[in-house]
Amino acid sequence: MCGIAGYIGHRQAYPIIINGLKRLEYRGYDSAGIVVNDGRQFGLKKTKGKVSDLEAKCKDLPSAHVGMGHTRWATHGVPSDRNSHPHLSNNEKIALIHNGIIENYDSIKKVLISKGFDFKSDTDTEVLVNLIQFFQDSENLNLTDAVRYALNETIGAYAIAVMDADDPQEIVVARLSSPLAIGIGDNEYFIASDASPFVEFTKEAVYLEDGEMATISLHGGVDIHKIKDNAKVSLVIQELKLNLEEIEKGGYDHFMLKEIHEQSQSILNTMRGRLLVDEGIIQMAGIWDFQEKFFNAKRIIIVSCGTSWHAALIGEYLIEDLARIPVEVEYSSEFRYRNPIIGEKDIVIAISQSGETADTLAALRLAKEKGAFIYGICNVVDSSIARLTDAGSYTHAGPEIGVASTKAFTAQLTILTLIALKLAKHKGTLSKERFNTLIAELETIPSKVEALIKNVEEPVKKIAENYAGVNNFLYLGRGLNYPIALEGALKLKEISYIHAEGYPAAEMKHGPIALIDENMPVVVIATKKGHYDKIVSNIQEIKSRKGKIIAIVTEGDVQVKEMADYVIEIPETSSYLVPILSVIPLQLLAYYIAILRGSNVDQPRNLAKSVTVE
């Protein structure tokens, strides 16, 4: 939710910031803005729309070596020029960009209005910049102190960057619950919501922790203090593992298509160093070091949102079936607000691609407070969730930039399979022979994914051509394929804006069957290892009501082929591994339908990649 990027150093600030904003656009694309300081005054441009719209407005921006920019996902105030960031204080001396929400903005605004301030936007952010001016004026403070005073009056979440028109030598940043990275170059500094804007300039970064702020200047470097009591914090520099190719499109039209195609490699990366088939072991320190906790756990609760929640549902099936440990899956947003019963014998696992999802982070904090052991499955290294948890496993899918999650999902399924198999082996709920057979099969998945994409992409395009014009879609699956039905429906609705529902196939007759007529396409995941006979009966029920069947079947299937309007074959594999394959044609179907409908698949309307607000 909102991306921020800034620069101070010896280079031209504008190109670095504008390219940085393009890389951060996945975080929000309702509006964009930039401010630079040429040593005499601010040059500010902002606009409703995308970073490319901003770029078109920046031709006459003055040359400067310090500046900062913002790409917005609207919370308070509609997307518009005037609600775009940066926001200026009333005296036009302070500029501020913000990712997050100031929850008590209304009461602060009333006080400021009573003191003569006026407001040009509907945002919570403009309140904060004026509060900083208020403290600067009334207490005669420098920028850093005024920012600290103001933040101590606010409730909410933020990553902010602030500049003073009278001091072109520094930028002040702060964070609470929204990420902020500082890239450290050779007498130059970069700030950003993640490291992607500065990866080609430096491999060294500092990640601010919650409740910290930093003054960044050419003469003083990076000076970090606690917001609450101004206590000095020492600098911990980390080495970035990110590289440039990973965050570029590499010849594909869209990041989403690139990321779908990357899945054989990303799954391999998830398994690398962990799946050692020749030695008959799965190596995962996060599980091994705490296996007693897992074996003695009263239950595992998995919290997550969206696509990660679908992965969690599959995790529940896998861990319960293989390791016989009770698992519950909850939406993070429900869990955190429903006063759940959690104790020291519970393990709470968070699954999150970004590692920044506000609800999942809050659910974990609650679980930690109540004494549970908390475990993270994140894709983004050093993300807030990864840093909060007691232990965890990174998915190593590489940066996922398309807003619709694809390769992160299959990496999450791979990690969950590894965890379930490892727990089952050591707990003794799976024989050595069966374990060895399953890990040998898991090792073949990357090549099966590669073959699958090659074989199905053209047939899926044909199906997309036939159904791009419809308004509704139904997705059905059973067992491990039920969460895949949910995921297929989510992918379609978020990027094509077609209404789509996923259901467990047997639930059809309890309501959704009323929707079936000759205009309703129904995607049925009918693989051989997923309650095949039952799903065949469900297909017959749909056929009798003239519904159109698009079936995902196992290679060589005969029975469903005779009934379905279209079939897409996936390679044969173990039932535990089917979801990693069966989701792929559904990702491609959503992608090609969305393309035919003219959607912006990488940046679908109203969405953002990293949901750092509730």
Q: Which residues bind ligand F6R (CB under 6 A)?
A: 305-308, 352-354, 357, 360, 404-405, 490, 494, 611
Give the nearer residue to ligand F6R in terms of CB position, either 99 or 354: 354
Cβ 404 to ligand F6R shortest distance, Å: 4
Give the nearer residue to ligand F6R in terms of CB position, either 150 or 498: 498
The helix or strand, by DSSP H or E, that contains position 426, with its residue range, turns out to be: helix 407-427
Give the nearer residue to ligand F6R in terms of CB position, either 97 or 397: 397
Catalytic residue among 2, 58, 305, 378: 2
d(CA 96, CA 102): 13
User: Of 285, 185, 283, whose CA–CA distance to 240 is shortest?
Assistant: 185
Residue nearest to ligand F6R (CB): 306
Cβ 248 to ligand F6R shortest distance, Å: 20
Give the nearer residue to ligand F6R in terms of CB position, either 357 or 527: 357
In terms of Cβ atoms closer than 10 Å to its own Cβ (0-12, 13-18, 19+), residue 85 is buried
Cβ 360 to ligand F6R shortest distance, Å: 5
Give the nearer residue to ligand F6R in terms of CB position, either 378 or 549: 378
Q: Which residues, listed in sequence order, are joined to residue 473 by a DSSP beta bridge?
A: 500
Torsion, Cα 400 406 411 416, to 10 degrees, reads 130
d(CA 33, CA 61): 12
Cβ 353 to ligand F6R shortest distance, Å: 4
Give the nearer residue to ligand F6R in terms of CB position, either 336 or 548: 336
Burial 368-402 (b: 16+ CB within 10 A, else e): beeebbbbbbbbbbbbbbbebbbbbbbbbbbbbbb
Residue 147 has a CB neighbour count (10 Å cut-off) of: 29
d(CA 210, CA 490): 32
- Asked if residues 300 and 326 have their Cβ atoms less than 8 Å apart, the reply is yes
Burial 429-452 (b: 16+ CB within 10 A, else e): bbeeeebeebbebbeebbebbbeb
Cβ 610 to ligand F6R shortest distance, Å: 6
Catalytic residue among 22, 425, 448, 609: 609
Cβ 449 to ligand F6R shortest distance, Å: 18
Q: Is 58 a catalytic residue?
A: no
Burial 176-187 (b: 16+ CB within 10 A, else e): bbbbbbbbbbee
- Asked if residues 93 and 166 have their Cβ atoms less than 8 Å apart, the reply is yes
In terms of Cβ atoms closer than 10 Å to its own Cβ (0-12, 13-18, 19+), residue 166 is exposed
- Give catalytic residues, as residue numbers: 2, 609
